[in-house]
Amino acid sequence: MHWHIGKRIKEDVLYNKRAEYGKEIVKKLAVKLTERYGKGWSDRKLLHCIRAAYTFTENEIVYAARIQLSWTHLRSLVFIEDGLKCMFYIEMARIEHWDTRTLDEKIDSMLYERTALSRKPENLIKQELEQIKETNMLSPDAVFRSSYFLDTMGLADTYC
């Protein structure tokens, strides 16, 4: 629902343009929606909806909904600009059944960057992520950290 709202605003109200005047339009739209439908339609929420529409395609949203990621999961993922990194976190959250708090912690701890998978060429990363999606099984490179496993002892990777 949130993605569809963002898509509608992006296409029909903002005409697929990102401009400063769009912020004013979104603020006015938030007021009108709140008047008509009640609380829950702040300009900030609408901006998240719009960002989701710019970030995810309709197929990705359908897939994410099918695998039971919530709006709060998607809201955390829209700020990841690297598509492969985003796909990694989607698959990890799906397979590991992460709640939103866990997903945010993993993103903040830069889990993707610390995996062996992230050091591979882009086309190999895509292939491995597709394989994870199809088999529902994590590959060793998606699970294991590169070089050393110092974080299991409470040490950061920076000691390598």
Q: pLDDT (tens digit, 9 = 90+) per residue, 110-123?
A: 888 888 777 888 88
First vs last Cα of the chain: how many Å apart?
Answer: 45
* Alpha-carbon gap, residue 5 to 39, rounded angstroms: 16
pLDDT of res. 20 = 64
* pTM of the entire predicted model: 0.65
Q: What is the average per-residue pLDDT within 39-46?
A: 90
> Given a cut of 70, is residue 62 above it in pLDDT?
yes
Token code pair at residue 140:
């060793």
Question: Could you tell me the residue ranges of all domains in the chain?
Answer: 80-160
> Given a cut of 90, is residue 101 above it in pLDDT?
yes
Q: What is the average per-residue pLDDT within 35-61?
A: 87
% residues pLDDT > 70 (the chain) = 82
Average pLDDT, the chain: 80
Q: How confident is the model at residue 157 (pLDDT cuts 50, 70, 90)?
A: very low
pLDDT of res. 149 = 46
